[in-house]
Amino acid sequence: QSDSEVLDLGRQGEAPGEFRVAWSNSLGRAVLIGEDLPPAPAGKAYELWLITPDESMAMYVLDPAEDGDVHVALDAPADPSAWAITVEPDEGSPTATGEIIFIAEVPA
């Protein structure tokens, strides 16, 4: 039985584009899909955050979306209670410095 889930992230404010995350807790893997995005500002990139009740974990996606799209597979080391996207320095940040532009809570 598959435990994979897919979640559309809700846009905060006027940011164009959309993000969706698919993941499997049993496999510990996730896929981030972003479409129709504006390129991140120079020196910045889109960052995915896996949020649990205890912490926000940087997933270090760090894609500037030069072509308007983000498609990346990554490890998901914890059971998420929410997913979020910020714009961060392109070398990454262990804690979010940019404001959340997309977020969604995982349904219980």
Amino acid 48: pLDDT: 97
Amino acid 1: pLDDT: 52
Amino acid 2: pLDDT: 73
> Which segments of 9-94 are extended strands (E)?
10-11, 18-24, 29-35, 44-51, 56-58, 70-75, 82-89
State which residues of the chain have pLDDT below 70.
1
Amino acid 60: pLDDT: 87
pTM of the predicted protein model: 0.93
Kindly state the DSSP code that residue 52 receives in the 8-state scheme.
Answer: -
Strands 82-89 and 44-51: antiparallel
Burial class of residue 62 in the structure, from the number of CB atoms within 10 Å of its CB (0-12 exposed, 13-18 middle, 19+ buried): buried
